[in-house]
């Protein structure tokens, strides 16, 4: 998608710190640890977050679609995994044009997922287990089937300007009506759609069925704050905010004209949103201020009603300077967790990260840690429902390695469902394709745009439909690798992605990993080395050969100032060693894709 492409280009321009092949160590002690001491750490700073895509998590009623009762039935799995909080992709009433990101009623639950009663039950059952529920908040747009839009179409009082409307222009030569500007939607084609009934165009930066709400209208701002309060009152611990950079667009000029956006030069495809530079429709300063207002609302809710801190997670693939603004500034608090998508988009033009070497990895890590404002907490997101799965981007050989990295780095860790099992993408035929981003293209090119491969049902067991559903079919096909890649089989195995993931979550609870300083280095093209240390606690070192070639005689000790003796605490199978083995950090041999976490003796 265009925003992804834009960020890759931005990153290329950033001139990050480590040169290729250099043994560059960067001490990030001050940047990587929050200014708050161990005693004052808030729950979310040491939490394990987990994203559930409800449609694909667990079907309780046999219709082939996941639902709330399904999630309730699997809360013990989350607890066992070591999850602290889970964010759910949208569960609100929706015609499902964009699988819940097109909301027809912001105050109710989609019938195929359950009812408000089920939702209250979910909150209660999660609380009983000490788990927190975070909802997806979709502020930029609603469904065209939302009553607000229907009222706006009819120009009902109070709703006339709820959405962004414009007459467009009559082309004097052709006599045809044309859209107000050249703006493009994220899912291919014009961002303007003609509405016969109102006889005007409306703006939709995503699908035609997702009209953009008008944030220049104070009534909309107030309405969306009502949405937040409604769900906070029902007991949610916070929100993941969808598509944040799109909330505000530039205001029209005195003649009521919206400016055309300039060509980006990235593609010749005029329907692709990356055809334009989105200088008038994304990343506006007003959007950052809106997030600050939402944070204030959450803090006020806690002040009035008590309980734990409510959190905001911001979805933005924008350039890092803009992303960092969401953290807040000296006077105003922002979101605690502006998503760090560097491991998704930071591959320097290598879209799938398959060729990323150690220097590339370290650049990705340091880009966040060095730009994050002082006193804030880092976060690491390896994947989500919009991206290829980690094993399909980084390669299956690097699945454990990526989980090890994510858990070892300082700050908040966020896992997309199934990454703990090493689930991989399934190629979906054109006939089975459901994602609007793909359906808006054609049979020949849809695979470039589809997000369906990472959304296939969760793999619980080797039973029919991977234990996801008792129905004869499921809304997306099940990946045939479910026979071996599933919770049941991986739990029973001596070693598995799941087993290692759980051990990593446990290790992450150690004082050193929670509160320790971080030193990160690319020892050579192959080897990433990270040291975590805290006075009075064991020092841990992660050493990972991120490439498919062996290395020997690697001196990690001098690059990281890691003297003394070390033994292996955790490792992936590629390391061909055993827990408890002693290692010599000054001269290490590592097979392809080997990853070890060692502990000072």
The long-range contacts involving 294-301, CB below 8 angstroms and separated by at least 24 positions, are: 294/225, 294/228, 294/239, 294/241, 295/328, 295/332, 295/333, 295/334, 295/335, 296/333, 297/225, 297/228, 297/229, 298/228, 298/232, 298/238, 298/239, 299/333, 301/229, 301/232
Nearest approach, Cβ of 101 to ligand NOJ (angstroms)?
3
Query: Do the Cβ atoms of 102 and 120 come closer than 8 Å?
Result: no
Residue ranges of E strands in 555-594: 566-571, 582-583, 588-590
DSSP string, 34-60: -SS-GGG--GGGG-EEEEE-GGGT--S
Task: List, in sequence order, every residue forming a beta bridge with 184; answer none if it has no partner.
Answer: 190
Specify whether 315 is catalytic: yes
Site for ligand NOJ (CB under 6 A): which residue of 98, 193, 272, 419? Answer: 98
Nearest approach, Cβ of 210 to ligand NOJ (angstroms)?
7
Q: How many residues does the chain have?
A: 601
376 vs 384 by CB, closer to ligand NOJ = 384
141 vs 398 by CB, closer to ligand NOJ = 141
Site for ligand NOJ (CB under 6 A): which residue of 243, 247, 364, 595? Answer: 243
Nearest approach, Cβ of 428 to ligand NOJ (angstroms)?
16
Site for ligand NOJ (CB under 6 A): which residue of 53, 92, 101, 248? Answer: 101
Nearest approach, Cβ of 68 to ligand NOJ (angstroms)?
19
Give the span between the Cα atoms of 276 and 139, in whole angstroms: 23
247 vs 426 by CB, closer to ligand NOJ = 247
Of 524-553, which residues contact ligand NOJ (CB under 6 A)?
none
For the window 125-144, what string marks contact with ligand NOJ as x by the rule CB under 6 A? -------------x------
310 vs 385 by CB, closer to ligand NOJ = 385
Give the span between the Cα atoms of 314 and 387, in whole angstroms: 16
243 vs 534 by CB, closer to ligand NOJ = 243
313 vs 504 by CB, closer to ligand NOJ = 313
Nearest approach, Cβ of 89 to ligand NOJ (angstroms)?
7
The CA-atom distances, in angstroms, between 196 and each of 34, 153, 154, 167, 201 are: 54, 9, 11, 11, 9
For the window 271-310, what string marks contact with ligand NOJ as x by the rule CB under 6 A? ----------------------------------------
Nearest approach, Cβ of 259 to ligand NOJ (angstroms)?
24
Structure tokens at 455: 């959304």
Structure tokens at 35: 């200014």
Structure tokens at 438: 């793909």
Nearest approach, Cβ of 243 to ligand NOJ (angstroms)?
4
Specify whether 261 is catalytic: no
Catalytic residue chosen out of the listed positions 212, 242, 283, 348? 242
Of 305-334, which residues contact ligand NOJ (CB under 6 A)?
315
For position 386 contacting ligand NOJ by CB under 6 A, the verdict is: yes
Lookup result for tokens 């981003």: 437
2 secondary structure, DSSP code: H
Euclidean distance between the first and the last CA atom of the chain, given in angstroms as a whole number: 48
Give the span between the Cα atoms of 226 and 219, in whole angstroms: 10
Rg of the chain (C-alpha set)? 24
Site residue total, ligand NOJ (CB under 6 A): 9
CB atoms within 10 A of CB 8: 20
For position 87 contacting ligand NOJ by CB under 6 A, the verdict is: no
Nearest approach, Cβ of 463 to ligand NOJ (angstroms)?
29
Alpha helices, H only, 433-534:
436-439, 487-492, 497-508, 511-515
Residue nearest to ligand NOJ (CB): 101
Instruction: Give, to the nearest 10 degrees, the angle between helix 399-408 and helix 497-508.
Output: 10
Give the span between the Cα atoms of 415 and 403, in whole angstroms: 9
DSSP string, 153-181: HTT-TTTTTSB-EE--EE-TTT--EE-SS
Give the span between the Cα atoms of 25 and 157, in whole angstroms: 62
185 vs 264 by CB, closer to ligand NOJ = 185
For position 212 contacting ligand NOJ by CB under 6 A, the verdict is: no
For position 400 contacting ligand NOJ by CB under 6 A, the verdict is: no
344 vs 577 by CB, closer to ligand NOJ = 344
Residue ranges of E strands in 174-260: 177-178, 192-195, 200-203, 238-241
Give the span between the Cα atoms of 430 and 445, in whole angstroms: 10
Nearest approach, Cβ of 212 to ligand NOJ (angstroms)?
11
Catalytic residue chosen out of the listed positions 193, 315, 386, 435? 315
Site for ligand NOJ (CB under 6 A): which residue of 113, 119, 206, 292? Answer: 206
Give the span between the Cα atoms of 178 and 18, in whole angstroms: 49
Side-chain half-sphere CA neighbours of 442 within 13 A: 3
85 vs 243 by CB, closer to ligand NOJ = 243
* 393 closest CA partner among 455, 349, 453, 351: 351
Query: Do the Cβ atoms of 87 and 134 come closer than 8 Å?
Result: yes
Query: Do the Cβ atoms of 530 and 408 come closer than 8 Å?
Result: yes
Nearest approach, Cβ of 273 to ligand NOJ (angstroms)?
12
191 vs 243 by CB, closer to ligand NOJ = 243
CB atoms within 10 A of CB 580: 8
98 vs 272 by CB, closer to ligand NOJ = 98
CA angle in degrees (0–180, nearest 5) for 330-334-338: 120
Nearest approach, Cβ of 242 to ligand NOJ (angstroms)?
5
Of 461-480, which residues contact ligand NOJ (CB under 6 A)?
none
* 385 closest CA partner among 339, 348, 418: 418
For position 242 contacting ligand NOJ by CB under 6 A, the verdict is: yes
Residues marked active site are found at 242, 315
Binding site for ligand NOJ (CB under 6 A): 98, 101, 138, 206, 242-243, 315, 385-386
């Amino acid at each position: 998608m265009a925003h992804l492409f834009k960020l890759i280009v931005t990153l290329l321009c950033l001139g990050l710190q480590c040169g290729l092949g250099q043994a560059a160590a960067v001490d990030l002690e001050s940047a990587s640890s929050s200014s708050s001491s161990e005693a004052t750490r808030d729950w979310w700073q040491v939490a394990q977050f987990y994203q559930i895509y409800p449609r694909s998590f667990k079907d309780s009623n046999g219709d082939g679609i996941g639902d709330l009762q399904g999630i309730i039935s699997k809360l013990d799995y989350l607890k066992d995994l070591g999850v602290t909080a889970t964010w759910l992709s949208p569960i609100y009433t929706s015609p499902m044009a964009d699988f819940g990101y097109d909301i027809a009623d912001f105050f109710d639950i989609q019938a195929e997922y359950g009812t408000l009663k089920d939702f209250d039950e979910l909150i209660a059952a999660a609380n009983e287990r000490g788990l927190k529920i975070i909802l997806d908040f979709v502020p930029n747009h609603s469904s065209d089937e939302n009553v607000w839009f229907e009222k706006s179409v009819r120009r009902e009082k109070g709703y006339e300007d709820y959405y962004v409307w414009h007459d467009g222009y009559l082309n004097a030569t052709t006599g045809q009506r044309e859209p107000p500007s050249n703006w493009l939607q994220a899912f291919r084609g014009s961002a303007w759609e003609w509405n016969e009934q109102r006889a005007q165009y409306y703006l939709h930066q995503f699908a035609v069925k997702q009209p953009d709400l008008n944030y220049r209208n104070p009534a909309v701002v107030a309405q969306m704050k009502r949405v937040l309060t409604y769900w906070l009152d029902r007991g949610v611990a916070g929100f993941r905010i969808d598509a944040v950079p799109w909330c505000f667009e530039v205001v029209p000029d005195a003649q009521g004209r919206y400016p055309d956006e300039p060509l980006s030069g990235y593609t010749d495809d005029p329907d692709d949103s990356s055809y334009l530079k989105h200088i008038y429709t994304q990343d506006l300063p007003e959007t950052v201020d809106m997030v600050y207002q939402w944070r204030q609302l959450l803090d006020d809710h806690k002040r009035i009603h008590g309980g734990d801190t409510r959190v905001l997670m911001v979805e933005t693939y924008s350039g890092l300077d803009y992303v960092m603004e969401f953290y807040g500034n000296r006077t105003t608090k922002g979101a605690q967790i502006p998503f760090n998508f560097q491991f998704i988009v930071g591959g320097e033009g290598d879209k799938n990260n398959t060729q990323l070497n150690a220097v590339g990895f370290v650049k990705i890590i340091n880009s966040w840690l060095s730009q994050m404002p002082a006193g804030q907490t880092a976060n690491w997101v390896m994947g989500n429902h919009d991206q290829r799965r980690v094993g399909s981007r980084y390669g299956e050989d690097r699945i454990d390695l990526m989980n090890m990295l994510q858990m070892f780095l300082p700050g908040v860790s966020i896992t997309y469902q199934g990454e703990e099992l090493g689930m991989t993408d399934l190629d979906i035929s054109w006939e089975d394709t459901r994602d609007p981003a793909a359906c808006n293209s054609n049979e020949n090119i849809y695979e470039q745009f589809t997000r369906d491969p990472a959304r296939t049902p969760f793999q619980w067991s080797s039973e029919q439909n991977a234990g996801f559903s008792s129905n004869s079919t499921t809304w997306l096909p099940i990946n045939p690798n479910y026979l071996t890649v599933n919770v049941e089989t991986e739990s029973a195995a001596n070693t598995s992605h799941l087993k290692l993931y759980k051990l990593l979550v446990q290790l992450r609870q150690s004082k050193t990993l929670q509160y320790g300083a971080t030193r990160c280095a690319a020892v050579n093209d192959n080897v990433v080395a990270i040291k975590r240390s805290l006075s009075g606690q064991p020092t841990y070192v992660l050493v990972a050969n991120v490439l498919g070639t062996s290395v020997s005689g690697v001196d990690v000790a001098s690059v990281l100032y890691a003297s003394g003796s070390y033994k292996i605490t955790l490792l992936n199978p590629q390391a061909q060693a055993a827990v408890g083995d002693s290692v010599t950090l000054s001269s290490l041999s590592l097979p392809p894709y080997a990853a070890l976490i060692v502990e000072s003796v």
